[in-house]
Amino acid sequence: MNGQFGFGADPFDAGWVGHAPSHHGRWVRWDDRIVLFLGDDPPSVAQELSDGAAVRPVSGQLGVPTPTKGRVANTFEVPFRWIAKVSIRENGKGRPDGGTGLLISDRHVLTAAHVVYDVIRNPARYALSVTIALDGNNDLGTHVPSRKPDISKKYNPGSVDYDYAIITLSRPIADERPPGLRGDKLCFWGSSQCGAGTTGIPVDPGNLVRQTAYTAGYPKNKGATQMWGFSGMLASVPAQSPIMVYTAETTEGQSGSPVWIQQDGTYNLVGIAVARGNVNRVVRLTWDVVEQLNDWMLAAENRP
């Protein structure tokens, strides 16, 4: 589990266990919460959480910000280097759809459940691959999973409430040094050692509503091989629902794209883009979602 998101030996142990470095880049239990440990001073993080401020709110928007979009100029830069194209193959042939994912450990990619549902439902017919930081003919490596993706037992293709999944790659890749990074390690989103200010700490709904958020992915209408970035407002963030309404443009191919907010030089993951239509919908990163993701990742580590 070194260098990955995930629990230690006892996922429900109250308080910090062992030496801090053993928790770097991991979700750990603190009292009744699950915390992504990123620094060398566990009590400072724990105190902030115990005070009820998992992430300090970003300054509110007085008006409705105009959504923006544009092609990502350099997909090898932070934070785009950990965004991935999720490709689906049917009977050995590529399909024009697929989606987007985010590398959140040295071998786990977060995406939307509906992106990988065909692979789970019929693995003999469908297969997938993950290409990190794809930009036309350039990328930071293509990888295949070690098994079927994990999705919630409560997932229903007709609903977006549990529309998230974890892809477990066939091998760890965070320590690899792709030529495009000129000697740097690939790393992953949220790493305490080389995550460059990326985090994934759930934010109270009241601190998210009307905030400007960002996303990037692989829209089909742009060829599905170019990474495009978008910004917009989180227009509705109901406390009783895991689904947020987002004003940024989302189109086919962007499903599974990370949605984040920026503050104080950090990029904090707050959701996963899952649907478009009359309104664009995002599954909010809640403590329940965090716990489910870590259950899957820990189980993957324990499989032979």
pLDDT digits (tens, 9 = 90+) for 99-138: 999 999 999 999 999 999 999 999 999 999 999 999 999 9
The pLDDT assigned to 64 comes to: 52
Choose among 115, 116, 76: nearest CA to 196: 76
Residue carrying the six token digits 């191919």? 253
222, two tokens? 């742009």
Instruction: For residues 183 and 293, state if they share a domain.
Output: yes
Q: Which domain holds residue 268?
A: 68-74+193-286
For the cut 50, the answer to whether the pLDDT of residue 192 exceeds it is yes
Instruction: For residues 129 and 203, state if they share a domain.
Output: no
For the cut 70, the answer to whether the pLDDT of residue 24 exceeds it is no
pLDDT digits (tens, 9 = 90+) for 263-280: 888 899 999 999 877 789
Q: Structure pTM?
A: 0.80
In a domain, 18, yes or no: no
The pLDDT assigned to 265 comes to: 82
> Using alpha carbons only, what angle is made at residue 108 by residues 300 and 97, rounded to the nearest 5 degrees?
120
The pLDDT assigned to 304 comes to: 56
238, two tokens? 């109901």
Instruction: For residues 134 and 265, state if they share a domain.
Output: no
In a domain, 31, yes or no: no
pLDDT digits (tens, 9 = 90+) for 193-242: 899 989 999 999 999 999 999 999 999 999 899 999 999 999 999 999 99
pLDDT digits (tens, 9 = 90+) for 31-52: 443 444 444 333 333 333 222 2
In a domain, 278, yes or no: yes
The pLDDT assigned to 65 comes to: 59
In a domain, 53, yes or no: no
The pLDDT assigned to 76 comes to: 97
Instruction: For residues 243 and 293, state if they share a domain.
Output: no
Cis peptide before 172 (omega within 30 of 0): no
Residue carrying the six token digits 């949220």? 190
Choose among 179, 176, 178: nearest CA to 3: 176
- Here the CATH number for the domain that contains residue 229 is 2.40.10.10
Helix (H, G, I), strand (E, B) or coil at 233: strand
Instruction: For residues 117 and 265, state if they share a domain.
Output: no
d(CA 61, CA 297): 36
Cβ 213 vs Cβ 234: under 8 Å:
yes
**Count of domains observed in the chain:** 2
Instruction: For residues 207 and 155, state if they share a domain.
Output: no
pLDDT digits (tens, 9 = 90+) for 141-164: 999 999 999 999 999 998 999 999
The pLDDT assigned to 251 comes to: 87
Instruction: For residues 158 and 254, state if they share a domain.
Output: no
Instruction: For residues 295 and 176, state if they share a domain.
Output: yes
The pLDDT-based confidence of 20 (bands split at 50, 70, 90) is very low
